Amino acid sequence: MSTYEPDFCPRYHQAVEMIGRRWAGVILRELLRGATHFRQISAAIPDITDKLLSERLKRFESEGVVERTVLPTTPVTIEYRLTDKGRALEAAVREISSWAETWLPAEGEPDTVQLARSGSPAEA
């Protein structure tokens, strides 16, 4: 009989914390979809405040996930683009999206869980 031995992985924990911050995953998804301007990202995410979006983008920039470019236009234009490190999160974001579509109810739907393979909902 095997005994469970926890194997704490600091890198995994750090990654989950990075993309698990409030609104962070949705911001990443919008950047992966091609949004590059603050207003594009903000318009795509209902209920996010400008302050929180700005904080998340700055944090992603400091973590090397997002690159911020100031364009010399009038008025000044700022673009946000994912770095190689940020684009490398695409598969993870897609998998989380797929999992959510399968297992989480849409807003306004009853909270049910689809049982594996049976297709029968079970009240959660």
CA dist., res. 54 & res. 81, Å (int): 14
CATH class of 10-123: mainly alpha
Q: Residues 63, 65, 71, 77: is their CA dihedral positive or negative?
A: negative
pTM of the predicted protein model? 0.79
Name every residue whose Cβ is closer than 8 Å to that of residue 3 and which is 6 or more positions away in sequence: none
pLDDT at 118 over 60: no
The 10s digit of each residue's pLDDT in 51-107 is 999 999 999 999 999 999 999 999 999 999 999 999 999 999 999 999 999 999 888
Query: Quick one: which of 96, 97, 95, 103 has its CA closest to 124?
Result: 103
CA dist., res. 36 & res. 39, Å (int): 9
Residue with tokens 């890198």: 11
